[in-house]
Amino acid sequence: GAGVSQSPSNKVTEKGKDVELRCDPISGHTALYWYRQSLGQGLEFLIYFQGNSAPDKSGLPSDRFSAERTGGSVSTLTIQRTQQEDSAVYLCASSFGDRNFYGYTFGSGTRLTVV
């Protein structure tokens, strides 16, 4: 597609439920990133994919968080047993993943609210 697409744009869920957030990167971008944006916390790195592999998942806050990427394209971030502190905007970004790094292209994010 023309840009990075994320769905849903908003998600309200009850504490303890599981949620899935989807990211569709720019066609041809091999690298994909998930960040979390919280008020006053800036952008917190979660995980990075190169193709379908995740060489860096150091930012995942707990084992309730997992992510996968299939076909070198769409990625899904899953949060199990959601907690109120998981409320944030989850941003996905993609890039060409080669040595000429021009920066990321971001999606518009998924605003997750855990009640």
3 state SS for the chain? CCCCEEECCEEEECCCCCEEEEEECCCCCCEEEEEEEECCCEEEEEEEEECCEEEECCCCCCCCEEEEECCCCCEEEEECCCCHHHCEEEEEEEECCCCCCCCCEECCCEEEEEC
Least separation in angstroms between CB 66 and another protein: 19
Question: For 57, how many CA atoms within 13 A lie in the half-sphere containing its CB?
Answer: 14
Contact positions with another protein (CB under 8 A) in 21-40: 31, 33, 35, 40
Q: Smaller CB distance to another protein: residue 42 or 115?
A: 42
Q: Smaller CB distance to another protein: residue 18 or 53?
A: 53
Least separation in angstroms between CB 24 and another protein: 14
Contact positions with another protein (CB under 8 A) in 44-103: 45, 48, 56, 91, 93, 95, 97, 99, 101-103
Q: Does 5 sit near another protein (CB under 8 A)?
A: no
Least separation in angstroms between CB 102 and another protein: 7
Identify which of 18, 21, 3 has the alpha carbon closest to the alpha carbon of residue 76: 21
Contacts with another protein by CB under 8 A lie at: 31, 33, 35, 40-43, 45, 48, 56, 91, 93, 95, 97, 99, 101-109
